[in-house]
Every structure is written in structure tokens, then in C-alpha cells.
Amino acid sequence: MRRWFGLAAVAAAASVNSLTGCIAIDRFSSRAVGFNEQAAEVKTESVLLNIVRATYSEPLQFTDISTAQGTSSVTGSLAATASVPTRGGLLTALPQQFLGLNPNLSSQGANQFNLNNLNTQEFYNGLLAPIGVPQLAAFLRTGYDPVVLLALAVDEIEIQSGSRRMLLKNDASSVDQHTGFIFALDQLVSGGLSAEESGPDTKIGPALQPAAARELLGSIVTSTATDAPSLKKDERTGLFQLTKRGGVSRLCFDLARASSDMRVGGPVRYRSVPLNPFLKPIPLAYEPSGPAAPSAVRDLVIVPRPGDVCGARREVQLDRTLDTRVRFRTRSVQGMFQYLGKISRLELGMADGTPRRLTYFGWPKPDPGYELFRLELGTTDAGYVVTHRGQTFNVAVDPSGNRNGSSRVLQLLTDLIALQSSVKNFPAQNLVTVVGP
């Protein structure tokens, strides 16, 4: 019987060790991916919640997850309570004796995360700073949806020709003005609006003899800088000059990306590329002309200059023979939230009780239209949902981006908050030149 007791105890202990070992050697990959998804959802829903606050003209409030920790513990025990018999059982008059084993196993898990309240002066200075050319250029070059980006970032388009000055206002409180402005942006994108870094290289220090240049070359090669300086040789003098590449960002027209036909059906990107691209007028607005096709508004037709083409030489960029100038007046991140709040108030009918849809149609209009952003009441299984003051709001997700840009708006705002959240001083101006020196 003692032998059976020993075997039972060993088996019970082995089972406890097996269970605890399976938990101790944790397969954490699924939990790590789950945390990644949850963190992304927290950021997106935080942005959406602040759009809802802007819709109701309430103060914005931002928080961020600073740290997250997961803890787990496993405990196990083995207990046996029974009298050890010296006889009994088979072929005896005594009853069979039983040994009772009581293994016990328990585990605990907990998640801990800390939230930062983003309410510092530096953070809010960043939110109030207008978006500059470097940010616009970076987003355009990296493939963000250009119409969504510009509709969020641009408050108005200023066209100056001689002494005349005209404004196209991106006013979300007016359906006609809003859709007309989206059409103007769409036309600019159709004309190949893009961005590049230009400007002359900056000289660093004096000209160097070959021996001094060789000593410096090793430091340049091993440098970890993302934009390290370079050495250039002057063939005339034989001296070397340390230079840093010119990093002046500017908007320009990439003619290889320009569309050769009228845009139809909303922001469908670059449907055809002309074999011999050339500078052509870009109408920013049309007006009806009876049963015939609409005609371009004469004062709102711009003609890019040779210097406005991406890759133009510096002296061509500075050519002032044409006095037409087109500029974007940009918003801040805070202004983007207020802009989306205006759109949502109009769509929900909060002004006069009549909901309206801010749908942009191409010309002609065979398509169901394109909406930059749409906030709706209720829940959805295919989008993002937040609750505010007892009401539930949602935005849909359109993976194609051809009908609804809501999810792309949330993505852009998330990135811009991270990039613009730290500045020391306000910039002097928020004008970005599109056409003109």
C-alpha cells in the first residue's frame, strides 16, 4: 500500500508540474498582437471621440497610453488525507481502504496600463500651429490620399493675379461651397499636384585639401545621421567642399502623374497618363450654361508656370514673368477637428433639424458620389464606434477609398497629432505657394 501511495503522489505531482509548466512557458505572441490591435483602436476611437466633442462645440481632451504591463502567477499544491492500512481489501473481512489525493492548481493574470493626460502648453501649441510645407510635402510624397489630406489641411485657396485677389473658401457650413472646394482640390490633384525637396546645397565650413578631406571621409561613412553631409570636389581648384543637401520643400506639378481627361466620379486617382505631358490650364470651378456642358469660371482657371513643374531648375522656379500666384492657407490640427465638427453638425441636422449629406460628384454625375467624412448615429459592425453623453456614434470604413474617406481622415489626424504635438513657437505664416515664385 505504501508503494501505491508513493506512485499516486508522484503522478499527482507530475500532473501539477505539467499544468504549471504549460502556463509558465507562455505563448505570448497572440497577446502581444492583441495589445497592438487594442492600442490602435484606443488611438482611433480617441480621435473620433474628439471629433464628436467638436461637433457639440465642447473642449477637446487627449490622453495617450504611456506604459502597459501584463502579469501572471501560477500556484499548485498536493494534499493527501487517508489512514494508511496494514491490512484489508481483497480476501479479507475488513473493508477496502482508499487513499484520497487533492491536487490544487490556481492561476492569476492582470493587465496594468498608465495614461498620460496631454494638457501641457507645448502640446497645445503644437495643436494650434498651422500645418507647414514640410508636413504637406512628406504626406504627399509617401502616398497619402491627396484629396483627403488637402481637404483637411487647407482652409482656403488664394489666387492673386496682378491687383486682383480671389478666395475659394473650404466652408463646411455650406454644401455648395464645400463640394465646390473639393472639386477644386480634385482638379489640382488631376493636374499632377505633388511635392519635392529643392533648393541649393548648403556649404559647411571652408574648402578642404585632399588630405583633410580623406580624414573627414571616414567620419561621414560611419555617421548614423539620416541626412549626412557629402564631400564635393571642385575640378577647377582641386579642393573639397563639405555640403549639406538643400532641404527646401515645395509643392509642384508632376506632369507624369497628370490625368489627360476630365475627372469623373470623385477622387479616382490618375486614370491615364499623357505620352507627352505639357502645361495646361486647370479650371478650379465650373458654372452652368443651359443645356450645354458647364463652362469653366474664367477667373478660376490657373496655368502652371514652367517653374512650377517638379524638377525645374532653381532659376526657372524664380522666374517672375507671370504674376499669377496660387496659395494654400493651411489649418492647424485643432482647426481640423473644428472643421470636421462643422461637417458632422450639418450631416446630423443639428442646426435646423434637417440632416444633409456633403457628397461630392464629378462632372458629369453618373456616380453615387464621394463623402470626405460622415458621422452617423448608432452602432455598426464595419467601422468605429464611440459613446458620448449617452449617445452612440459611428463612422464607416471604405477600404477602396472611392466613396468614403472617413477612416483615412482618422488615420491622418492620428499621425498629425503625433507629428505636431511638440513646438516651441508659432510659425510666422500659414501660406503655402502652389503656383508662383
pLDDT tens for the chain, 437 residues long, are 445 445 455 555 555 555 455 555 566 777 778 888 888 888 999 999 999 999 999 999 998 877 777 666 666 665 555 555 555 556 666 666 665 556 666 666 667 777 778 888 888 888 888 988 888 888 888 888 899 999 999 999 998 887 788 889 998 888 888 888 998 998 898 888 999 876 666 677 788 888 887 777 767 666 655 556 777 777 778 888 877 766 678 899 988 777 755 444 444 444 444 445 567 788 888 887 666 677 888 888 888 888 888 888 777 777 777 678 899 999 999 999 999 999 999 999 997 888 988 888 875 555 678 899 999 999 988 889 999 999 999 999 998 888 899 999 999 999 999 887 766 555 546 888 888 87
- Check whether residue 40 and residue 178 sit in a common domain: no
Compute CA distances 181 → 101, 326, 358, 371, whole Å.
79, 14, 12, 13
- Check whether residue 284 and residue 371 sit in a common domain: yes
Q: Tally the domains of the chain.
A: 3
In a domain, 54, yes or no: yes
CA dihedral 79, 85, 86, 88 (to 10 degrees): -140
- Check whether residue 189 and residue 212 sit in a common domain: no
- Check whether residue 255 and residue 241 sit in a common domain: no
Assign 396 to helix, strand or coil: strand
In a domain, 85, yes or no: no
- Check whether residue 215 and residue 286 sit in a common domain: no
Cα within 13 Å of Cα(90), Cβ side: 1
In a domain, 368, yes or no: yes
Query: Could you tell me the residue range of the domain that residue 325 belongs to?
Result: 129-198+251-435
- Check whether residue 209 and residue 284 sit in a common domain: no
Q: Omega of the bond prior to 281 within 30 degrees of 0, cis?
A: no
- Check whether residue 285 and residue 407 sit in a common domain: yes
- Check whether residue 263 and residue 333 sit in a common domain: yes
* 119/333 Cα distance (integer angstroms): 15
Q: Which distant-in-sequence residues (6+ apart) come within 8 Å of 191 by Cβ?
A: 253, 258, 259, 280, 282, 304
How many degrees, rounded to 5, is the angle at CA 129 between CA 127 and CA 135?
95
Q: Which cell numbers in the block locate residue 173? A: 457650413
Cβ–Cβ under 8 Å, residues 153 and 275 = no
Check the CA dihedral 372-375-381-385 and report its sign: positive
- Choose the final residue of a domain: 182, 215, 245: 245
Q: Which distant-in-sequence residues (6+ apart) come within 8 Å of 102 by Cβ?
A: 78, 79, 80, 81
Beta bridge partners of 104: 77
Place of cell 468605429: 384
Cβ–Cβ under 8 Å, residues 147 and 404 = no
In a domain, 400, yes or no: yes
In a domain, 122, yes or no: no
In a domain, 145, yes or no: yes
| Nearest alpha carbon to residue 155 among 131, 189, 135 | 131
In a domain, 86, yes or no: no
- Check whether residue 333 and residue 387 sit in a common domain: yes
- Check whether residue 263 and residue 291 sit in a common domain: yes
- Check whether residue 172 and residue 296 sit in a common domain: yes
In a domain, 417, yes or no: yes
Place of cell 480617441: 46
- Check whether residue 343 and residue 417 sit in a common domain: yes
